[in-house]
């Protein structure tokens, strides 16, 4: 039973990752791209949580992984907002299509 629950929760986490990836790739606005990435990390949180609870609750490793994912999200957000502001201020760019300086 616990394995079945684990598999269902992991499937849900995979759905979150897939949805987030779709959003991050399809959205034009920089802020919306960041929301897609957040959704991907949301899936990671859920997957790591279920791995802890259903596989190794006696070990702290999966908990530490969640903590790391949270930190990744905080860093992504802070830097994302800062870059979005900087590029808007410099070039009035608010979509990823218009930010093509590094696009070869």
Partner 1 sequence: MTRTSGTRAATTGAGMADPTTWTSVWAGLGVVAGALVLGLVLAWFDAVARAGVRVGSRAVLVPAAAAPVREGMRLLLGQRRTTVAPDRLLRTLAVCAVPVLALTSAAVLPLGGHSVVSTSADLVWFNAAEALLWVAVWMLGWAPNAVHSLVGAYRFLAQGLAYELPLMFAIITVGVGAGSLRATDVVAAQAGGAWFVWTMPVALLVFLLGAAAFTFWGPFGAPAARDIAEGVLSELAGLDRLLVELGRAVFLGVASATAAAWFLGAEDGPVLPGAWWYAIKTLAVMAFLVGVGRRLPLVRPERFADIAWMVLLPLTILQTAVVAVLVLGGFYG
Partner 2 sequence: MTELLVLSALGAAAVCTGVLVFVVDSMARATFCLLASFLATGAALLVMDLHYLGLLTILMMTIEMAIMVVFMIMLMMNPAGLMPMTMVHNTKGSAAVGATVFVVLVVGIWTVDWPERTGSPPADPTRQVGEAIMGPQMLLMIVVGVVLLATMVAGITLATHRGRYDRFGPDLDRGRPDDPVRGGLPR
**Cβ distance to partner 1 smaller for residue 2 or 56:** 2
Give the C-alpha distances (Å, rounded to integers) separating 36 from 3, 7, 40, 61, 72.
29, 23, 7, 26, 14
**Residue window 5-44: x/- pattern of binding to partner 1, with contact defined by CB under 8 A:** x---------------------------------------
**Residue 99 — φ and ψ, nearest 5°?**
-90, 70
**Residues within window 56-85 making contact with partner 2, judged by CB under 8 A:** 56-61, 63-64, 66-68, 70-71, 73-75, 77-79, 81-85
Does position 2 interact with partner 1 (CB under 8 A)? The reply is: yes
Does position 98 interact with partner 2 (CB under 8 A)? The reply is: no
**Residue 101 — φ and ψ, nearest 5°?**
-60, -35
Counting residues that bind partner 2 (by CB under 8 A) gives 75
Residue keyed to tokens 């499937």 = 11
Residue keyed to tokens 């900087």 = 86
Positions in the binding site for partner 1 (CB under 8 A): 1-2, 5
């Amino acid at each position: 039973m616990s394995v079945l629950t684990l598999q269902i929760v992991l499937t849900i986490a995979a759905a979150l990752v897939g949805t987030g990836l779709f959003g991050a790739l399809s959205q034009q606005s920089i802020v919306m791209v960041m929301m897609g990435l957040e959704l991907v990390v949301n899936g990671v949180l859920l997957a790591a949580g279920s791995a802890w609870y259903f596989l190794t609750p006696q070990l702290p490793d999966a908990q530490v992984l969640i903590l790391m994912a949270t930190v990744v999200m905080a860093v992504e957000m802070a830097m994302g907002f800062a870059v979005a502001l900087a590029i808007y201020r410099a070039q009035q760019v608010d979509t990823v299509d218009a930010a093509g300086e590094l696009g070869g």
